[in-house]
Structure 1
Amino acid sequence: MVTDALARNAKANLRAEVRRRRRARSASVRETATGALTENLIALVRRRGPALLGCYLSGADEPNTRPFLSWAAANGVDVLVPVSRRDGLLDWVHARGGAEQPGLFGISEMVGEVVEAAVFQSVDLLLIPAAAVDDSGMRMGWGRGYFDRALASLEEQPPVFALVYDDELVESVPRESHDKPVVGVVTPSRIHEF
């Protein structure tokens, strides 16, 4: 489809721009953003009260989820984090402040016993990464499709929030026919529901 081909090209350009901006952020700017993002994530979890939460373990340039995951472990919030598989799917392990190791693509993943697929089916809230999210809630990921496939595997989809920096909540993102919106976004400055 021509429109999907054009969208893929536009996504590649926007992803490159987002990566460039993320890498240009100073350590102090990232640290300030991490503190504010963590406060907003805690507020979202307190408001929503999930029994089981799914959250990604952030990479070097992504909005940092580690302080939030530490808070969750210290406060009895049950969290699953993803582990990438070679077949393009995700397994999930409990985030209990455990050790990390490099996974596929060199991305850090928590070490732990993989939970049964039925456990992931009972997630009440998902916090997922994004390169950008637009004003309608359309999420643009990083192009590997791991989280898209994870969402598609859920029999009942819980509320899904994307985590981005403030300048990554944009007017519009390129979209392909398979793209789905999220219900909200969490940035260092706010929690926004669409």
Structure 2
Amino acid sequence: MHLADMAPSPSDIRARKQALRQRIIAARDQLTPTLQAHWSGEIVRRLCGLASYKTARTVLGYLNFGSEWHSELWVRQALADGKRVLLPRVNKAGRHLDLYQIGNLGDDVAPGAYGIREPVAGRCRRFDAPGEIDLILLPGVAFDRAGGRLGYGGGFFDRLLARWPQQPSLVAAAFALQVVEEIPLESTDRKIDWLVTENETTRC
């Protein structure tokens, strides 16, 4: 049998991804609010210690939902640090993300697609200069230390990154329990540059 014949098929990879996604989310859901808040604070401290964050003028982040780490704390800190902060808004018709600059986490955001808070289009300025973004904080369910990232299955961020010829620093943050030995990857999956947990900062 040739080695090529032993390579996992796309359907096998997707099945492995889904099983891993379910396992990690179930484990994350067991965390107490106290632990989530404490570990999220540690993650923000490590994120803000990155050289790429300190020198960044424009950053793209996201707002947490469910049992995710509290990325809103990082967004608040970036605003306080004088960064130009962008957040994604789901364009359901085009199945892609539009980017908007926000000034605060009050009136500028509201629950949108899938119940996730996103910029209010009527209040925020649309951002169409991806070349000016210095750092992107990517969401995800699971990660490995080689830069593999497992998202939620919608492919929104992968399509966003594919539209840009050059990417700034790609950073992901998660609880340590979301770090696994290896993420099954497909050709369209983008790797991250840095992985930050409450325990460690890893250059992938």
- What TM-score do you get using the length of structure 2 for normalisation? 0.88
Partner of 2:201: 191
For 2:51 and 2:118, the matched residues in 1 are separated by: 22
1:88/1:145 contact within 8 Å kept = no
For 1:190 and 1:38, the matched residues in 2 are separated by: 12
Gaps of 5+ in 1: none
Answering whether residue 182 of structure 2 is matched by residue 172 of structure 1, we say: yes
Paired residues, what number?
193
Pick aligned residue for 1:148 from 147, 152, 158: 158
Deviation at 1:155, TM superposition (A): 2.2
1:83/1:93 contact within 8 Å kept = yes
Partner of 2:118: 109
2:61/2:85 contact within 8 Å kept = yes
For 1:68 and 1:90, the matched residues in 2 are separated by: 20
> Which letter maps to 1:156?
Q
In structure 2, relative to structure 1, the CA distance for the partners of 1:144 and 1:47 (3 Å cut) is closer
Deviation at 1:116, TM superposition (A): 3.5
What's the secondary structure of 1:117's corresponding residue?
A: coil
Answering whether residue 17 of structure 2 is matched by residue 11 of structure 1, we say: yes
1:3/1:176 contact within 8 Å kept = no
Pick aligned residue for 2:97 from 79, 90, 98: 90
1:4/1:177 contact within 8 Å kept = no
For 1:30 and 1:101, the matched residues in 2 are separated by: 22
> Which letter maps to 2:126?
V
Moved over 4 A (4+): 45-48
- What TM-score do you get using the length of structure 1 for normalisation? 0.92
In structure 2, relative to structure 1, the CA distance for the partners of 1:85 and 1:72 (3 Å cut) is same
Deviation at 1:177, TM superposition (A): 2.4
Seq. identity, %: 27
Q: Which has the larger radius of gyration?
A: 2
TM-superposition CA deviations, 1:3-37 (whole Å, max 9, x none): 11001001111111111111111011101111101
Gaps of 5+ in 2: 1-6
TM-superposition CA deviations, 1:66-87 (whole Å, max 9, x none): 1121111122111111111102
